[in-house]
Structure 1
Amino acid sequence: MSRAALASLKDFVGDDARRLGFEASGIADASGNLLAGERLAEFVAEGRHGTMGWMPETLDRRRSPRDLWPDVRSIVVLAMNYGPDEDPLEILDRPERGAISVYARHRDYHDVVKGRLKELAGRLVARARTSGLGEHDAKVFVDTAPVMEKPLAELAGLGWQGKHTNLLSRDFGSWLFLGSIFTTLDFQADAPGRDRCGSCRACLDACPTNAFPAPYQLDARRCISYLTIETKAVIPREFRAAMGNRIYGCDDCLAVCPWNKFAQDAREAKLIAREDLKAPRLDGLLALDDGAFRAFFSGSPIKRIGRDKFVSNCLIAAGNSRQRRLLPQVAALLGDAAPLVRAMAVWALCRLDRGEALRLRADALDRETDAMVRSEWHALQKGRD
């Protein structure tokens, strides 16, 4: 391949990426194994992936990009900024409201980023052909395939993986969506990013549930993002009070990072937060049935977890709120069709009015057949919050 033609094509990729709304791009070499693959293997071996069974199932394909696609030679890694226009932690001081992670306050980023990646990949292949570089192929990935996007972004020079295991950028702080284009073109790789965390441990200390066993290590089983989004199991009692009013994800470790002093507000219109998702009232969310849930979260990543999981998260927030005016809604959900909702309604009711919960306990147990819900009623009798 012509080095000059490849260099020119690489410049084209960077320019076209910016045109499509990507704030940063870089090239990673696709050869060799990723060190992060070894760290992921340890993560899985220790069971820190929790109920995310797809992790051990795809572990081998994550070790090297060529295990996923043998023909790949270079990886174009791209980042789109979704920086918030306000401090995302301020909502934590408003217990009557639900805290939704910044990344989920707008359109599903998978749809936004993937569409742009496909356009860029198509133009890249066409430009390679017209530049005399021959026929080449490209595949695009956004989070849904076994691709180690954060380590690849570091290799491509977009930033570095911080002590909280997420990507950090000198220009955009914590707030970047990542996507990648695997290609058979053999570009010259960019210099990798350099770790700039130093002695700082703000992200580790900020975690409400102590989900970091050590710097650069995460135990997903303790992470509020995992607990409120990934697992379908009932959230363990030991983490519920620490969740506060976080009902979908958690931004604490991202938001406290000092590098956010360089962060910028999102420019892509589809990634600017919906006003009704910045600080939604818990009473409105507790009232959602399945149809209303689907309508309200149409186009949002929140829709994927389903109404029952979401309302169960909201019930934990209601219990933590100590807002007694939520009692009628919480009590009504004791009769919900979903066992997970009924179970968290028991917990929330106990937190809001233990006496009322004890009064209802006997009749509820006579009617209840689900073991999970019965366990919550029995825990109430034993005085466990």
Structure 2
Amino acid sequence: MVGAALAIGLAKQNRTVAVVEGREPPPFESSQPMDVRVSAISSSSVDLLQSLGAWDAIASMRLCPYKRLETWELPECRTRFHSDALSLSELGFIVENRVIQLGLWQQFATYDNLTSYCPDSLTSIQLDDESIVELASGKHLQATWIVGADGANSMVRQQAGIGVTAWDYRHHCMLINVETEKPQQDITWQQFTPSGPRSFLPLPGHQGSLVWYDSPQRIQQLSVMNDEQLRDEILAHFPEELGDIKVLQHASFPLTRRHAQQYFRQGCVVVGDAAHTINPLAGQGVNLGFKDVQALLSASEPENALTNSALEKYQSLRRNDNLLMQTGMDLFYKGFSNDNMALRVVRNMALKAAEHAGPIKHSVLKYALGL
């Protein structure tokens, strides 16, 4: 998603762009089951996608707007956010990752200066003032900039010799698509428990995406259950706000924090998950990636040469902001994922106070939405 967005933005600047991708996103059909991987797209990300000409295509496929967000540990100590507080029609949209990717991919054809090499993959990079990229197909591409938008285990980052600071959270995350007894909802919520949060994201129709954070052992146990057994576990451990459900599909993955020690080196630059991975607690991962895109496009505006000074500007715009968001999510996650009684009292008092924080609460919401 992030790489496709950046490719279009650079092509709009009349750069010559090559996109190397392992496989093309499949065409969309409304009868297809929903992707288990979804993102909560913020207002600023929507603005970027609109500027790239992709949002109308995404909206014509499948998405779910949400107006409300609630978070709590004890039901009586809740923090609530509503789009009306910021005079917005919605706080954001829950969208399947593949729908976002497809909406962007469809824009490639409108640019003669954008070439996709698909299916193909990176083999090696010869770094110089004009670097040479060798692909698995045997093709060689000469480039001024090589952008690594190739995920948390970025090969571009590794070949450029960019180090990372990383650690595991000792938690795994399970994504579960469910059919709900309730019709399409306009709220996303999260309840904290000592073993990890339980989250709900609305999807179109009578569907929703559940996120279950827990120990690796517990997630493994859940992963091997049949749909009925998993449903029983969900109903026993999720709050009553969920209502009855039917399990449709699920997947799981470990939680790991990574942050590149620098965002560029020798003409290679990293964006999105290649530069930073974050605890998915607040659904900010892809929004941070889209902020990277906006910053790099700003640093490389048409009148600017593709130089180290542009990359330094990009790094100064994004690295500290990404670090702040990573650290904030870590403090929030660790502060709630335990059963310490003193901490429990303090954090629930904090949630209750946050509900009545007025301008401070609105400022936090605006920052999260990228406004």
TM-score band by shorter chain is under 0.3
More helix by share: 1
- Give the TM-score normalised by the residue count of structure 2: 0.25
